[in-house]
Amino acid sequence: MATKSVQRQASIGLKRVYDPPSADDGMRVLVDRLWPRGLSKDAAKVDVWMKEAAPSAELRKWFHHEPERWNEFKHRYRQELAANVDAVEYLRELAKSKPLTLLFAAHDTEHNNAVVLLDFLQHGHAPRPQTSPAQAR
C-alpha cells in the first residue's frame, strides 16, 4: 500500500526516511544535512547519505520549514544546486541505472528540500512559484 509521502516520477522518487522501505525504492539516498532524529542507521536502510546535495546549513536554518519562506527557499536552494554540479550529476547518473528514492526527514511532504532537488534533477530547475490570480496582475 502506497503512502502519500511516496511519489515516483521516471526513475526518481521521494519518500520520508521514517516510512518503511519497500522493494521498489531502489537505491535509497538520504538528502538531508542532518541525520534523522530517533532513527538508527540500520532502521533507515539508507544506501547513500548525500549531505552534499542538501541545502547549506545557513539556508536550512533560515528556511526552518516556514511556509511563507517556501518560494524564496526554492530559489536559493536552486542556486546552490546549480553551483553543486558534482552532487547533482552523481544523482542523475545513479538514476540512469536503477530506481532512486530521495529520502527526507521533514514532516511536510510537499515543502522540503527533496521536492526541490527532485524537480532540479528532472528538469534542471526548481518548481515554479505558485501565484494567485491577484498576484499575477
What is residue 10's predicted lDDT score, i.e. its pLDDT?
Answer: 53
- What secondary structure letter does DSSP report for 29? E
In a domain, 2, yes or no: no
CA 60/CA 55 separation, integer angstroms = 6
- The answer to whether residues 16 and 5 touch, using CB atoms and an 8 Å cutoff, is yes
What is residue 3's predicted lDDT score, i.e. its pLDDT?
Answer: 47
CA distances from 9 to 29, 51, 73, 102 (A): 15, 22, 22, 11
Task: Show Cβ contacts of residue 115 under 8 Å, excluding neighbours closer than 6 positions.
Answer: 14, 109, 127
In a domain, 19, yes or no: yes
In a domain, 1, yes or no: no
- Domain count of the chain? 1
Question: Whole-prediction pTM value?
Answer: 0.82
Owning domain of residue 35 = 7-129
Residue 87 has pLDDT above 90, yes or no: yes
